[in-house]
């Protein structure tokens, strides 16, 4: 590849980021009446009126504005937005009695779901650490460390390792089945890895480093498939593979099943998750000061499976998921998988120098730019057919927020800059 090709892709991304994607959010998301962020918009970018502010959407928004400010965008306006979000997070979603963050408030800031869900706590640690790194405001690191300490006290499984995930307000473990108290997941542990990475980067505390190394080892040795190196979605407490079921509070299953159990429940893996895990692991090693060679075989398997089986060479983009052995189960195109493989394939190309990763990146880049972005509005369609026709049309809700899209563009630009610099 030559510099002109890298520059062309970079320019497309930069134009999208600065003229479409960031303006979509900065022009409409801040709730100046009640605080925090409005996060539900229809296909035209209009407020769709849902009366909720979720921990996930608020924390991911804080991360987005903090990280984009830290990357040099926004001329200070993004730091102001992040601070606006932190003010709401700490005043409305933090539980002063039991500690930790509630799962959901309404728009006025009244608590509607007081559960403590580790998936949400992980994003609180992630966004608050990033916020302090970006702005210097010590409140972020303070509350990130408080949340980390609560997880060590209440959520750690001291017998089998890892973290339980679903708790009541007082940190009592939830029941089995759909309540989620008897399960552990790839998703929560992967996001705890990214959270602990940012926490350690901000604090440089030896305990945070130790726990980051511990969860990396757990992900590589327990959660990734022993043969294929691909992510296994759900486990029992003792790390036996469990059928992938729908939890009461987790989104995204209505198009798969009616009975709450996914097809091929013990043999499916997400191409997007595998690429995301690998690029987050690579970043964690960088923050830890460890060489990528430490987990070279894992990178080869995670990136290799995604590029070999997940890329749609006919219509563009990356499929949703398939078997560990290679059969594709779901050929639709979902926004967040496209976002994560953009970063992942660029990392794989930089790491291995294999041209197939560049071709895969260019394929997904083209699909995103030509099909997935709703250019007149500025954000990405959430779910499309294999051919690129929108199935779902909302621009945002509690789960489809700016975290994946903005991060993908900011981080892809950063990697293209490194390629142009010869790195």
- The DSSP secondary structure of 168-203, one letter per residue, reads -TT-PBP-SGGG-TTEEEHHHHHHHHHHHHHHHHHH
Q: DSSP assignment, residue 291? A: -
> Which residue matches tokens 């090693």?
285
- Taking the CA atoms of 340, 342, 343 and 348 in sequence, report the sign of the dihedral they define: positive
Contacts of 189 (CB under 8 A, 6+ apart): 162, 163, 215, 218, 219, 223
* Number of domains the chain contains: 1
pLDDT tens-place string over residues 42-68: 999 999 999 999 999 999 999 999 999
The CATH number given to whatever domain includes residue 323 is: 1.50.10.10
pLDDT tens-place string over residues 351-379: 999 999 999 999 999 999 999 999 999 99
Burial of 423 (0-12, 13-18, 19+ CB in 10 A): exposed
User: In this predicted structure, what is the pLDDT of residue 180?
Assistant: 93
Query: CB–CB of 235/223 below 8 Å?
Result: yes
User: In this predicted structure, what is the pLDDT of residue 262?
Assistant: 62
What's the domain range around 183? 1-421
Confidence of residue 250 (pLDDT cuts 50, 70, 90): low
User: In this predicted structure, what is the pLDDT of residue 219?
Assistant: 98
* Cα dihedral 350/351/355/356 (nearest 10): -120
pLDDT tens-place string over residues 276-294: 999 999 999 999 999 999 9
Above 70 in pLDDT, residue 423?
A: no
**What's the whole-number mean pLDDT along residues 338-353?**
98
pLDDT tens-place string over residues 192-205: 999 999 999 999 99
pLDDT, mean over the chain: 95
pLDDT tens-place string over residues 81-110: 999 999 999 999 999 999 999 999 999 999
User: In this predicted structure, what is the pLDDT of residue 265?
Assistant: 62
């Amino acid at each position: 590849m030559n510099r002109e090709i890298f520059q062309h892709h970079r320019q497309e991304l930069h134009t999208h980021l600065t003229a479409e994607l960031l303006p979509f959010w900065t022009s409409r998301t801040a709730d100046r009446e009640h605080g925090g962020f409005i996060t539900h918009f229809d296909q035209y970018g209009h407020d769709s009126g849902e009366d909720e502010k979720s921990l996930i959407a608020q924390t991911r928004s804080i991360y987005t504005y903090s990280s984009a400010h830290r990357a040099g965008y926004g001329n200070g306006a993004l730091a102001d937005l992040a601070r606006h979000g932190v003010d709401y997070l700490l005043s409305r979603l933090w539980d002063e009695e039991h500690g930790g963050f509630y799962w959901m408030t309404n728009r006025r800031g009244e608590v509607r779901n007081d559960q403590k869900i580790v998936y949400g706590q992980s994003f609180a640690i992630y966004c608050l650490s990033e916020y302090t790194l970006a702005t210097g405001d010590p409140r972020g690191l303070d509350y990130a460390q408080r949340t980390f300490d609560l997880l060590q006290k209440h959520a750690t499984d001291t017998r089998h390792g890892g973290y339980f995930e679903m708790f009541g307000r007082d940190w009592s473990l939830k029941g089995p089945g759909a309540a989620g108290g008897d399960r552990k997941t790839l998703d929560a542990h992967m996001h705890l890895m990214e959270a602990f990475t940012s926490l350690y980067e901000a604090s440089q505390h030896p305990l945070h480093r130790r726990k980051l190394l511990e969860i990396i080892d757990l992900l590589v040795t327990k959660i990734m498939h022993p043969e294929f190196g691909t992510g296994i979605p759900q486990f029992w407490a003792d790390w036996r593979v469990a059928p992938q079921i729908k939890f009461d509070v987790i989104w995204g299953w209505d198009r798969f099943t009616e009975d709450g159990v996914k097809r091929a429940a013990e043999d499916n893996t997400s191409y997007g998750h595998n690429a995301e895990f690998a690029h987050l692991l690579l970043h964690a090693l960088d923050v830890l000061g460890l060489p990528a060679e430490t987990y070279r075989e894992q990178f080869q398997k995670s990136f290799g499976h995604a590029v070999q089986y997940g890329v749609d060479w006919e219509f563009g983009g990356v499929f949703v998921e398939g078997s560990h052995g290679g059969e594709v189960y779901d050929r639709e195109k979902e926004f967040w998988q496209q976002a994560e493989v953009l970063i992942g394939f660029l990392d794989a190309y930089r790491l291995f120098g294999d041209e197939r990763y560049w071709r895969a990146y260019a394929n997904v880049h083209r699909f995103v730019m030509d099909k997935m972005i709703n250019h007149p509005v500025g954000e990405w369609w959430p779910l499309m057919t294999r051919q690129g026709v929108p199935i779902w049309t909302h621009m945002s809700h509690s789960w489809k927020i700016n975290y994946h899209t903005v991060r993908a563009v900011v981080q892809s630009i950063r990697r293209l800059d490194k390629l142009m610099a010869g790195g």
